[in-house]
Chains A and B, each alone.
Chain A
Amino acid sequence: MDGRLTKDLPNFRPNKAPVKKTVKEIIYHIVGIILSLIFLFPIIYMLATSTKSESAYAMGVGTLNMFLPDFANLGTAFENYKSVLLNYDIWKYALNSFIYAAIVIVLNILINGLAGYVMAKLRFPGKRLLSFLIIFLIVVPVETSIIPLYSIVKIMLGLKQEMSVIGVILPAAISIFNIFLFMQFFQGIPKDYEEAARIDGANTMGVFLKVIMPLSKPIIATVAVFCFIGVWNDYLWPSMILPSANDGSWPLLPIQTALISIKSIEGITTGEIMASLVITSIPIFVIYVAAQKYIVKGFGTAGLKM
């Protein structure tokens, strides 16, 4: 209807458009803000609760007050943050998570990127079997394989005490799904780039590092962000294989695992738990927002084909 109208009366369009456009813009943004609130309410709740004492929190549960800070006691709003940061060594665990994430991201991109490149660009016998295995391994449920995985890391590879850090990093460094993403992305890169480099005498590895990788910022950023989120949010696996802190030495646990044990400390308040959750959520958001413009492109280009 709209299209027909403007087509029939093309001359009226320039006059009407600006007003109509502003109205449309305003409606668009109002709808957007409402939708955003629907998606943001856990964060609003986390922020609000993190400023409250236990009884203020208890009073608000089940009412809209749970999404609002405790206005009566705004002066003490940051008490929970202070006590969490001072009492529970959160920064040490956060630093651990950063280190694990950094190593995992680098390894992940190199290892899976290479594999994705081979699968996308090279011809070799056995490729069809590997393609099938990739899809197969994405499909298989992994819920029950955590018990054998534990035995493999602890018993077969014998990774104990400090060495178990390797058991956190290596299994996270391989991701079939990321190989799949890389493969899809590389398939969209025209052959011409590679051929030009080959004429200049580059070998396959050289082509990968010097031609393909620089063209692949979007997929690298995408994989990096999801790796980061994955490592940062993982708690079950590290808690199973890492030793708990010993006397005074630097703890090995990552942040989420530490958070779970902090949550179970007697006497900790809901506000303090939420404050620690807010603190641990900040890095994810910063990194996500920073890499945002690449992520959309990362999934694209080749158009994911399953």
Chain B
Amino acid sequence: MKKLLASIIAFMLVVMTMFSIVACGGGGEGNGEKEVDKDGNTIVKIMFHVDKSSTEGQAYQKRIDAFNAAYKDKGIKAQAIFKARSAGASGYETELLNNQLEGTLADIITFDAPNTAAYAKSGLLYDISSLISAEEQNNFYSLNKYEGKLYGLPIQESSAGFYYNKKIFRDAGIDVSAYTADNPWTFEQFKDVCAKLKAHGVTAVDMRLDATKDETAPYLLYPFIYAAGGSFVSDDGYTATGYYNSTATAKGFQFIKDLISEGYTSYAIGATDFFTGRVGMYLSSGWTIPDLDNKYREYFASRDDWGLLPYPKDVVAASATGSWSYAITNNHHSDKTATVELLKWMASAESSKAITDATGMIPARRDAETNYAVGSPEYTLLKQLELSGKERPATVAYPTFSTTFNQIISALDNSDVASLLNSATNTLQTEMDRLKNLK
């Protein structure tokens, strides 16, 4: 009896499954119709990844309000939608996709730069290569390109570097004033400083080797591989073999491994150890600046107590970049001119400055006005971005790249670099092949 019951249910499920497949894919496509409000203004919708009440959200809203004031006579009205990416990766992206499925996706969206390839390949984003002049494109430190076409313009930029405890450096008699963004230190000089710090009796540097649960470690550590002359993927983003496991790439990882084996850094450094004066240097991005300015007064009373050093260089200089960007969606409803006007407005030097003033990050454009004092941490980050900023690998398989990178870092101390790289390359290449076959 039970068998009969089970088989009936199994059959039922299979039948339903078949039907659901046959009838799948009903959702609407963008209809390209333009939306108009009661006063006859063309509505352009723009979707942001932050909460409206956050400082960043308020900065966006202010720029939207300014746009509406300026374009009142031209009959264009911008409407902001705020969808915080609070629920991890899935929240904002699910919203994005279902809007796409419903055909209600905003005309302009924000997205994280490493997603460019995946979004562009999936037909989510609109090719804006011809809409943004070459001259205008040159104003940006980085651009979101896939297969040679332009899909997004960065909102703001980020960079990272080595925060250092000036007190410890003074006590240990280390002078790093010569190492600036214009003239970065070398791998060897970096190791020398580490050795001196170790001799002084402190942990030399927190390389964030324990930050392998999310994007933190890949974001902070990938420049070392570029600096050593290595690479991760081919230009088209579909080949990892021969890049990710090349000797130059191995050299970059080996440098990090050496820092561990020589006792300069370790996995066991506590997340707050630098902030409480137990570690000499701390690898982090620009958003550590406000923390050091405000939160740890007992240890860092003023900027005389801490400073920021650039990434060290080896064969070349390379530093971390990347942030969220604006893109026009492929099924934008509003008429193109209005949408492009809003995109240009939001990506303008003026907007870039207004937004970075609120967020404390670096403007995405060279022509945005900045008033950082020469030698200040902000100045170092900006200069470094200008001179050596290098984007993370552009590939549709970026999530897999990020996972394998984390796995390599996490196993670096007790495995051989070459075998780690080979296994990571295999995983990534398999994923890339699969994505390539997805037509």
> Nearest Cβ distance between residue B77 and chain A, in whole angstroms?
15
Q: Please tell me if the beta carbons of B102 and A240 are within 8 angstroms of each other in the complex.
A: no
> Nearest Cβ distance between residue A245 and chain B, in whole angstroms?
6
Q: Please tell me if the beta carbons of A240 and B87 are within 8 angstroms of each other in the complex.
A: yes
A26-34, A208-216, A220-228, A261-269 - the one binding chain B: A261-269
Find chain B residues with CB under 8 A from A245 CB: 51-53
Encode contact with A along B310-326: 1 for CB under 8 Å, 0 otherwise.
Answer: 00000000000000000
Of A55, A62, A129, A150, the residue contacting B98 (CB under 8 A) is A150
B32 within 8 A of A: no
Find chain A residues with CB under 8 A from B83 CB: 244
Q: Please tell me if the beta carbons of A269 and B87 are within 8 angstroms of each other in the complex.
A: no
A35 within 8 A of B: no
Q: Please tell me if the beta carbons of B270 and A62 are within 8 angstroms of each other in the complex.
A: yes
A154 to B97, CA, bound (A): 12
Encode contact with A along B84-104: 1 for CB under 8 Å, 0 otherwise.
Answer: 101100110011001001100
A244 to B9, CA, bound (A): 42
Q: Please tell me if the beta carbons of B91 and A239 are within 8 angstroms of each other in the complex.
A: yes
Of A154, A239, A246, the residue contacting B102 (CB under 8 A) is A154
A289 within 8 A of B: no
Q: Please tell me if the beta carbons of B295 and A129 are within 8 angstroms of each other in the complex.
A: no
> Nearest Cβ distance between residue B19 and chain A, in whole angstroms?
14
Interface of A is mostly: helix
Encode contact with B along A182-217: 1 for CB under 8 Å, 0 otherwise.
Answer: 000000000000000000000000000000000000
A5-55: which residues lie under 8 A (CB-CB) from chain B?
54-55
Q: Please tell me if the beta carbons of B101 and A240 are within 8 angstroms of each other in the complex.
A: no
> Nearest Cβ distance between residue A271 and chain B, in whole angstroms?
10
B272 within 8 A of A: yes
Using known A-B contacts A58-B275, A151-B98, A244-B82, determine if residue A260 contacts B87 with beta carbons closer than 8 Å. Answer: yes
A22 to B237, CA, bound (A): 75
Using known A-B contacts A132-B5, A244-B84, determine if residue A59 contacts B98 with beta carbons closer than 8 Å. Answer: no
B171-179, B296-304, B339-347 - the one binding chain A: B296-304
Q: Please tell me if the beta carbons of A128 and B86 are within 8 angstroms of each other in the complex.
A: no
Q: Please tell me if the beta carbons of B86 and A61 are within 8 angstroms of each other in the complex.
A: no
B54 within 8 A of A: yes
Q: Please tell me if the beta carbons of A59 and B84 are within 8 angstroms of each other in the complex.
A: no
> Nearest Cβ distance between residue B416 and chain A, in whole angstroms?
31
Using known A-B contacts A59-B276, A267-B294, determine if residue A240 contacts B84 with beta carbons closer than 8 Å. Answer: no
Find chain A residues with CB under 8 A from B299 CB: 55
By size class, the interface of chain A is: 20 to 34
Using known A-B contacts A55-B276, A58-B272, A128-B5, determine if residue A264 contacts B295 with beta carbons closer than 8 Å. Answer: no
Find chain A residues with CB under 8 A from B275 CB: 55, 58
Q: Please tell me if the beta carbons of B87 and A151 are within 8 angstroms of each other in the complex.
A: no
Encode contact with A along B282-304: 1 for CB under 8 Å, 0 otherwise.
Answer: 00000100100011111100000
A236 to B92, CA, bound (A): 11
A252 to B263, CA, bound (A): 52
Q: Please tell me if the beta carbons of B90 and A55 are within 8 angstroms of each other in the complex.
A: no
A122 within 8 A of B: no
Find chain A residues with CB under 8 A from B138 CB: none
Of B9, B52, B98, B297, the residue contacting A154 (CB under 8 A) is B98
Of B5, B95, B101, B359, the residue contacting A129 (CB under 8 A) is B5
Q: Please tell me if the beta carbons of A136 and B101 are within 8 angstroms of each other in the complex.
A: no
CB closest residue in chain A, given B99: A154
Find chain A residues with CB under 8 A from B55 CB: 266
Using known A-B contacts A245-B53, A260-B87, determine if residue A155 contacts B270 with beta carbons closer than 8 Å. Answer: no
Find chain B residues with CB under 8 A from A151 CB: 98, 101
Find chain B residues with CB under 8 A from A147 CB: 94
> Nearest Cβ distance between residue A61 and chain B, in whole angstroms?
5
Q: Please tell me if the beta carbons of B54 and A257 are within 8 angstroms of each other in the complex.
A: no
Q: Please tell me if the beta carbons of A240 and B95 are within 8 angstroms of each other in the complex.
A: yes
Using known A-B contacts A58-B275, A132-B5, A136-B9, determine if residue A236 contacts B87 with beta carbons closer than 8 Å. Answer: yes
Of B27, B53, B91, B294, the residue contacting A240 (CB under 8 A) is B91
> Nearest Cβ distance between residue A223 and chain B, in whole angstroms?
27
A67 within 8 A of B: no
Q: Please tell me if the beta carbons of B295 and A54 are within 8 angstroms of each other in the complex.
A: yes
A222-259: which residues lie under 8 A (CB-CB) from chain B?
235-236, 239-240, 244-246, 257
Find chain B residues with CB under 8 A from A61 CB: 270-272
Q: Please tell me if the beta carbons of B101 and A55 are within 8 angstroms of each other in the complex.
A: no
Find chain A residues with CB under 8 A from B95 CB: 240
> Nearest Cβ distance between residue A83 and chain B, in whole angstroms?
14
A59 to B294, CA, bound (A): 16
Q: Please tell me if the beta carbons of B98 and A269 are within 8 angstroms of each other in the complex.
A: no
A266 to B55, CA, bound (A): 8
Find chain B residues with CB under 8 A from A55 CB: 275-276, 295-299
Of A62, A133, A150, A267, the residue contacting B94 (CB under 8 A) is A150
A19 to B193, CA, bound (A): 69
Encode contact with A along B39-71: 1 for CB under 8 Å, 0 otherwise.
Answer: 000000000000111111000000000000000
A236 to B53, CA, bound (A): 20
Q: Please tell me if the beta carbons of A239 and B86 are within 8 angstroms of each other in the complex.
A: yes
Q: Please tell me if the beta carbons of B86 and A257 are within 8 angstroms of each other in the complex.
A: yes
Find chain B residues with CB under 8 A from A128 CB: 5
A57 to B275, CA, bound (A): 11
CB closest residue in chain A, given B290: A267
> Nearest Cβ distance between residue A210 and chain B, in whole angstroms?
35
Using known A-B contacts A58-B296, A61-B271, A155-B101, determine if residue A264 contacts B86 with beta carbons closer than 8 Å. Answer: yes
> Nearest Cβ distance between residue B71 and chain A, in whole angstroms?
20
Find chain A residues with CB under 8 A from B53 CB: 245
B residues contacting A by CB (< 8 A) are 5-6, 9, 27, 51-56, 82-84, 86-87, 90-91, 94-95, 98, 101-102, 270-272, 275-276, 287, 290, 294-299, 359-360
Could you write out 16 A-B pairs with CB less than 8 Å apart?
A55-B276, A61-B270, A61-B272, A128-B5, A129-B9, A132-B5, A151-B98, A155-B27, A236-B87, A239-B86, A244-B51, A244-B84, A261-B86, A266-B55, A266-B290, A266-B359
Task: Give me 11 other A-B pairs in contact (C-beta within 8 A), A155-B101, A266-B290 excluded.
Answer: A54-B295, A55-B299, A61-B272, A132-B5, A147-B94, A239-B91, A240-B90, A244-B83, A260-B87, A264-B54, A266-B360
